[in-house]
Amino acid sequence: MARSNLDIFKIGVGPSSSHTLGPMLAAAAFLELLGSSIDKTKRIHCTLYGSLSLTGRGHLTDKAVLWGLSGLKPAALTRNLQQQVVNLSFVQHKLQLGGRHEIHFDYRKDLSFSKDFLPEHQNGMLLEAFDNSDSLLCAQTYFSTGGGFIKTKEQMQENAEGSEDFSDNFSISNTNAALRLCLDDTLNLAQLSLRYELQFHDEAYINEYCAQIWQVMQEAYHNGLKPDNEYLPGSLHLKRRAPSMLQVLNEKDDPFTVIDRVSLYAMAIAEENASGAKVVTAPTNGACGVVPAVMLYLKDFLKEFNAVTARDFLLTAMLIGSFYKNNATISGAEGGCQAEIGSASSMAAAAMATVMGADAFKACVAAEIAMEHHLGLTCDPVDGLVQIPCIERNAFGAVKAITAARIALKRQSLPRVSLDEVIKTMYLTGKDISFKYKETALGGLAELSLDN
Ligand code: SF4
């Protein structure tokens, strides 16, 4: 079945869509599976596998599972609610299952970190519920496949067997198909994406969804400039830089201020994400600063940018993001950082080109250029925290997106590499990258010892 791409952008919780938001949603899905058996549950056990285990604490995976099991929803999260659940579990050893049924919870016994990797995917987790006589009530294995998307073991097997059917809806499987449709009906990518989404939702809903996403993106930027705590959580004791960057911005005399601004937008949002706050996955949390940084840049420097342009920007970006998600990966654990920051930069490049007047072909050229210059980028966050190199990497992804859009808009010759080809190349490169450099915190910068 063809499916809506709106959830390429989701309101989520930092610092990682695959390691925080995905496990939280998996825990919520498990509650749903348990249904009325919630009230018979005496004990819950969660096993985190592979990358979820190796970098789980740094990415707050353990806490995310508890938030999900407690019935919290990402859009309604607040610092207070998050902290209440953590205090209840860690200090009082209790969990309010689904927010209504209290059980005993022992962090050391009921949550296991296994170094084993499940064969289906790097980010696996098993949830089990037991009754009063310690009999198994319910069990399910989930995989967090990137961008906050989750699949059960059965769904992973269905996909591997190729049972997904795209025949009964209007589907757009890749760039080539998109360009053919655009050419036939003289559409740009935003118009094509809107037409695609209209088979799932009416236009008022799409407009409202995009407006809310844009609103949360802007809030994340403003919150990042005025944080409660000037230090980010975690072992690196990293000081936030966005607030002080704003103070030293010199708009009048410095010809490079635009670059500083774009970096500021991206880093303020990436720092919010690193603090575990509410952001928009775009398409992942690690890369959540790239798309909004380019949008904020256009809002501040392009006078034609308005609510409609913002919607068209997001529609274009989500269509490009769907090609990465469906034909390659948007998960750092599967493809390295090229799959996260690279995909975000590619999405933003096509979207910027589109709202600046590019036809579908030129917009795809912009997306191709942006990804081409992220190929091979590894994921090696220091101490497993989405901080170094992730925060600055958002700034680079945004600046590269703008460069790619501008190069594509000015190009007078035909490119030799297509977007479909570069997406496939990214995927194959990701497969070849050693697992040490795919969100395991076992190689690259993650091997450095940065003790204070
Ligand atoms: S290095 Fe890139 S992919 Fe890895 S956690 Fe950081 S932003 Fe995500």
So where are the chain's domains? 6-160, 175-447
Angle between helix 419-432 and 307-327 (nearest 10)? 50
Q: What is the CA radius of gyration of the chain?
A: 21
SS3 48: strand
Please write the tens of the pLDDT for every residue from 395-433. Answer: 999 999 999 999 999 999 999 999 999 999 999 999 999
Q: Mean pLDDT, to the nearest integer, of 368-385? A: 95
Q: How confident is the model at residue 452 (pLDDT cuts 50, 70, 90)?
A: low
207-253 per-position pLDDT tens digit: 999 999 999 999 999 999 998 889 999 999 999 999 999 999 977 88
Whether residue 47 has pLDDT greater than 90: yes
3-state secondary structure of 95: strand
**CA-based nearest residue to 301, from 359, 220, 356, 358:** 356
The share of the chain scoring above pLDDT 70, in percent, equals 97
Cite the DSSP H helix spans in 11-164: 22-34, 50-54, 61-69, 79-90, 107-110, 153-160
Contact of 143 with 123, CB cutoff 8 Å? yes
Average pLDDT over residues 182-198: 97
Q: Read off the amino acid at residue 12.
A: G
Is 379 near ligand 1, meaning CB less than 6 Å away? yes
pLDDT averaged over every residue in the chain: 93
Distance CA 296, CA 301 (A): 8
Ligand 1: nearest atom to the Cα of 340? 3
Answer yes or no: is the C-beta of 340 below 6 A from any ligand 1 atom: yes
C-beta of residue 68 within 8 angstroms of C-beta of residue 25: yes
Q: Is 381 in the pocket of ligand 1 (CB under 6 A)?
A: yes
Contacts of 109 (CB under 8 A, 6+ apart): none
Residue 1 has pLDDT above 80, yes or no: no
Work out whether strand 111-113 and strand 43-48 pair parallel, antiparallel, or are unpaired.
Answer: parallel
383 lines ligand 1 (CB under 6 A): no
- The residues with which 239 forms a beta bridge, in sequence order, are 231
What whole-number distance in Å separates Cα of residue 329 and Cα of residue 283?
A: 11
Q: Does 337 sit in the ligand 1 pocket, CB within 6 Å?
A: yes
Is the pLDDT at 359 greater than 50, yes or no?
Answer: yes
* Contact between residue 96 and residue 55 where contact means Cβ atoms under 8 Å apart: no
Ligand 1, atom 8: closest residue by C-alpha: 286
Tell me if residue 35 falls in helix, strand or coil.
Answer: helix
Percent of the chain with pLDDT over 90: 81
**Helices marked H in 132-256 — which ranges?**
153-160, 175-185, 189-197, 203-225, 242-247
Nearest-CA residue for ligand 1 atom 3 is 337
Give 344's pLDDT tier (boundaries 50, 70, 90).
Answer: very high
For the residues of 172-184, what is the DSSP string, one character each?
A: --SHHHHHHHHHH
Single-letter amino acid code for the residue at 200: F
CB distance 439 to ligand 1 below 6 Å: yes
Asked if pLDDT for residue 165 goes beyond 50, the answer is no
Per residue in 296-311, pLDDT tens? 999 999 888 999 999 9
pLDDT value, residue 316: 98
Most confident of 47-51, 316-320, 333-337: 316-320
Condensed to tens digits (0 to 9), the pLDDT of residues 52-101 reads: 998 888 889 999 999 999 999 888 887 788 889 999 999 999 999 999 99
Tell me what pLDDT residue 168 has: 58
- Give the atom of ligand 1 at the shortest distance from the alpha carbon of 285: 8
Which pLDDT score, from 0 to 100, does residue 348 have? Answer: 98
Do the Cβ atoms of 361 and 179 come closer than 8 Å?
Answer: yes
Q: Decide if domain 6-160 falls under CATH 3.30.1330.90.
A: yes
pLDDT of 331 reads 92
Q: Structure pTM?
A: 0.88
Segment among 38-52, 165-179, 195-209 with least mean pLDDT: 165-179
* pLDDT (0 to 100) of residue 166: 44
Gap between the Cα atoms of 397 and 348, Å rounded: 9
442 pLDDT above the threshold of 60? yes
Helix (H) or strand (E) holding 124: strand 124-130
